[in-house]
Amino acid sequence: MPKVISIYDTVQKAVAQALGETYMQQLGTLADLPSYKLADVGNAVFDAAGGVDVVTKTLVDAMGEFECEVRPYKGDLSSVMVKPLEWGGFIERAYLGLAEIIDDPRLNLVNGTSYDDHIYYAPNVQATIYQEGKGILTPYSITEDMLKTAFTGWAQMDKFLGGIRANATRTIEAGINSMKHMLVQTGIATSIAGTQTAVHLLTDAIAEGIVASGTTAQAALNNPDFLSWALMTIANVRDNMKVLSTAYNNGAVPTNAYSDDDTKLILLNRFEKACKFMLKSKVYNKDELSIGEYDRTAAWQGHDDGNKKFALQTVSSVKIAADAGNKLGIGTTAFEQAYVIGFAFDRLALGLCPFNRKVTSSYTAISDHWNTYHHLYCNALLDANYNMVAFVVD
């Protein structure tokens, strides 16, 4: 059976930081996040808005008009999502290193020489099983008598109940989206502090004379020459990932991307917009620019530093709490990195799959109310045997 890991407090903190406001007593400002708990390297309970409290506190009997806001929520970072039917290929993996190359005597046979044909050559195979499971649970309560007196007809009541169900779904989607962000955060941290495959764009640009020594990250991101050079570097790295090597993974086995579809790229919105609006149109054209397809995100983790919202340093930061067990291989102290503007990875390096959804309910006779529970069981995988590269302006 899979090992079930409880990460409800971590998801609560991630949702709060993504919202930029307090959520379930968790502060919305950017802070260290124990994202390492999410990633499987080798029951979040949400108090859904709505239910009995809303009925008793905000609705009156026999309402004349009723509107229920049920806007759906769609997150970003879809490139890390894995369909349930594909998840089996993510759970257990075997990695094949290169076989041996030996001398071929067939073209240079020597008279009287014995040629032994019974040597065993063991395949260079490594295997890993990923079996940590995480859960999200979203509950709400409804009483029949209250609903019968709170609305003028069945249509209004049905609309309200539909809104409650839609809000439970939206809450789950917010939790899934925070999980996606935490998974990408662990990938970025692994590239920078674990496998050390990160590209330090500002350092390299100074060394190549693209910008002057002493240029700050903020100044570099306002410099068209730097932006063009950074885009070229990102494109080169994605192409280099097609070469069989250990340049961008943990060095355990050589790996390569077979096609463009095997590499995924996420760009920070601030960087992408700087390229789009600060470079001439003939230089930047998404359909022609050879960085390939990509996702973009407004912030890796949070957007509120307590003083200003969506500041560049805040939205480009990743902060992971100290982990005495060093699960990610990035050390036991807290990890913090600002000015991360992009992340490229093999499609098999990261994966999040919500592969089991279920709704259950129960009735409590003494209070005459129904509880409904929306369950989500999922797994998040990080595999450093595959390519991962963070792009940092430092």
Q: pLDDT, tens digit, for every residue of 340-375? A: 999 999 998 988 877 677 788 888 888 888 788 877
Gap between the Cα atoms of 217 and 230, Å rounded: 12
Gap between the Cα atoms of 217 and 357, Å rounded: 43
Query: What 3-state DSSP class applies to 133?
Result: strand
Take residue 92 and report the two structure tokens written for it.
């257990």
What's this model's pTM, rounded to 2 decimal places? 0.74
The residue whose two tokens read 């999200």 is: 136
Burial of residue 42 (number of CB atoms within 10 Å: 0-12, 13-18, 19+) = middle
Decide if 220 contacts 211 (C-beta within 8 A): yes
Q: State the CB neighbour count (10 A cutoff) for residue 387.
A: 31
Q: State the CB neighbour count (10 A cutoff) for residue 36.
A: 25
pLDDT tens-digit profile, the chain (394 residues)? 455 556 667 777 777 777 777 777 777 777 777 776 666 654 222 233 443 333 333 333 333 444 455 556 567 777 777 665 555 555 555 555 555 555 656 667 777 777 676 565 555 545 454 456 666 677 777 776 766 666 667 777 777 777 777 777 777 888 888 888 988 999 999 999 999 999 999 999 999 999 999 999 999 999 999 999 999 999 999 999 999 999 999 998 899 988 888 999 999 999 999 998 888 654 555 555 568 889 999 999 989 888 999 999 999 999 999 999 998 999 999 999 999 999 999 998 988 877 677 788 888 888 888 788 877 777 788 889 999 999 999 9
Query: What 3-state DSSP class applies to 75?
Result: coil
